[in-house]
Amino acid sequence: MSDHRKGDGSGVETFDARSPSRRRFLKTMGASSLAAATAPAWAQIAQASQAQSEPVEPRDDGAPAEGEQQVRLTVNGVEHTLNVKPNAVLLDVLRDRLELTGTKKGCDQGQCGACTLLVNDTAVNSCLSLAVSHDGDEITTIEGLASGDELHPVQAAFWEHDAYQCGYCTSGQIMSAVAILNDDNIGSDDASIREAMSGNICRCGAYKNILAAVQDARGRMEGAS
């Protein structure tokens, strides 16, 4: 951890806000729900920094058993054929079956936005969505935003502006921001962004930094287009 800390001469070690572990944290968001809910922010980041980004193999469950339904989900560009119960929630299928734990389970009532992901490029609260209703859909989670070692502009902006504290809501905040910035019907002013992001709750109160990150990402994305 020595490369993630710096001394100020006072004998107290402090963390470098631009360290690689924080960058990797935004890519993986892989700490478990329990760890993310109970551990200090830097403990989560350290845990996430241990995660290795391995290629995801397509999953095929074969013929469904009695009481199950077969669905085909293209998740982060990989097509999976899964057998699920009719009442299986999309969030649980992604976390428990595909082990994509970056999407967080928060209130489980569609109130906090921690579970936000993209379905056919539209932001969706995955805790309220049944997996069987997404047969044939393309789903993007936080794990699918980065291109190799290159962060998505929104992820990079969140890192630059330190737009998170405990990190639990961060993946949902980022996914909502991506959808908003790709929606021409949403205004570019601060008030419009605040309104559009109002479904994503940050209990740490990092809203000012989140807003700055979203607006910074807008400039990055417009400059790249």
* Tens-place pLDDT, residues 15-67: 454 555 555 555 554 333 334 444 444 344 334 434 445 667 899 999 999 99
Least confident range from 37-41, 69-73, 153-157, 160-164: namely 37-41
Collect all residues with Cβ–Cβ distance below 8 Å to 30 and sequence separation of at least 6.
47, 48, 51, 101, 102, 143
What is the distance of C-alpha 217 from the center of its chain? 16
d(CA 56, CA 94): 12
Which residue in this structure is represented by tokens 């085909």? 72
- For residues 95, 101, 104, 109, the Cα torsion angle rounded to the nearest 10 degrees is 0
Supply the pLDDT for residue 56: 78
The pLDDT score that the predictor gives to residue 81 is: 98
**Residue-level pLDDT at 11:** 52
The answer on pLDDT for 5 being more than 60 is no
**How big is the CA angle at 201 (ends 225 and 195), to the nearest 5 degrees?**
55
pLDDT > 90 fraction of the chain, expressed in percent and rounded: 72
**What pLDDT is stored for residue 21 in this prediction?**
58
Distance between CA 193 and CA 213 in Å, rounded? 11
Average of per-residue pLDDT across 57-81: 97
Residue 6, pLDDT above cutoff 70? no
Length of the chain in terms of residues written = 225
pLDDT at 9 (0 to 100): 54
* Amino acid, res. 181: L
The beta-strand segments (E) located in 63-106 are 69-75, 78-84
* pLDDT (0 to 100) of residue 92: 98
Instruction: Give the separation between CA 149 and CA 166, rounded to whole angstroms.
Output: 23
d(CA 106, CA 203): 11
Q: Looking at this protein, which amino acid is placed at residue 220?
A: R
